[in-house]
Amino acid sequence: MSDELKRLAAERAVADVEPGMKLGIGTGSTAEHFVRALGQRVRDGLDVIGVPTSERTAELAKAEGITLTTLEEMPELDLTIDGADELDPQLVLIKGGGGALLREKIVAAASKRMIVIADVGKLVDVVGAYPLPIEVIPFGLGATWKALEACLVANDLPVKMALRGGDEHPFVTDGGHYIIDAHLERIPHPACLADDLTAVPGVVEHGMFISLATKAYVAGPEGVITVE
């Protein structure tokens, strides 16, 4: 059911893609529906060029016949379309469940607009039930961990973190970093936490996307609603 809703949201978003657009292409199962629907439009003659947000997306997009480039070649994009793990009515997002948050954020920030595609289960009043991914440099992990604990205490948030993949086989991102998932339950002040996390040495990026998304297509049993 949720996969069908993801497909509906993705197909709604693909209708917003116009000829000649420079696109940011997201990562995850919802974004994969978008890539397949975009591939169909490309095969029907639509001329677009895309920057993928992960190696996984690049592979699928290539297989779909979508022309790809990089932000070095094309540093400004018209539109990014991507999934999210959670979104609130103000379009604060949690992203990074698939581990691609760093490239996703760079690509979204390089785009004039960002459309989020999601099933209705991800629309919440306050983000934070989904664990917040924090991408960190492997060097000095113990020290970064302690600094993150202090940051969470200062923000009055639960100190419950896990290294993605575990100590033996940590998950490694496309950028060669680790991810710490912070189980915070609710993030009442995302902007304050975002500033504090960014100030921790060793933190590369966090999964809160604030003031980046301009619109969301959220699919539920009654159809697709627009949040903007």
Per the annotation, the verdict on 104 as an active-site residue is yes
Closest to 37 (Cα-Cα) out of 59, 73, 61: 61
**Residue 30 engages ligand 5RP in binding (rule: CB under 6 A):** yes
**What whole-number distance in Å separates Cα of residue 161 and Cα of residue 175?**
21
Pairing of strands 208-209, 93-94: antiparallel
Nearer to ligand 5RP, 147 or 225 (CB): 225
Adjacency order of strands within the sheet including 208-209: 86-87, 93-94, 208-209
CB of 54 to ligand 5RP, least distance (A): 7
**What whole-number distance in Å separates Cα of residue 16 and Cα of residue 35?**
13
Nearer to ligand 5RP, 22 or 33 (CB): 33
**What whole-number distance in Å separates Cα of residue 14 and Cα of residue 217?**
11
Closest to 86 (Cα-Cα) out of 174, 203, 213: 213
Nearer to ligand 5RP, 30 or 144 (CB): 30
**Residue 29 engages ligand 5RP in binding (rule: CB under 6 A):** yes
**Residue 109 engages ligand 5RP in binding (rule: CB under 6 A):** no
Q: Which stretch binds ligand 5RP (CB under 6 A): 63-71, 90-98, 141-149, 220-228?
A: 90-98
**What whole-number distance in Å separates Cα of residue 70 and Cα of residue 88?**
30
**Residue 50 engages ligand 5RP in binding (rule: CB under 6 A):** no
**Residue 131 engages ligand 5RP in binding (rule: CB under 6 A):** no
**Residue 64 engages ligand 5RP in binding (rule: CB under 6 A):** no
Tokens for 19?
A: 């000829």
Q: From the list 7, 12, 95, 206, which residue makes contact with ligand 5RP (rule: CB under 6 A)?
A: 95
CB of 167 to ligand 5RP, least distance (A): 22
Residues interacting with ligand 5RP, by CB under 6 A? 6, 26-31, 82-85, 95-101, 104
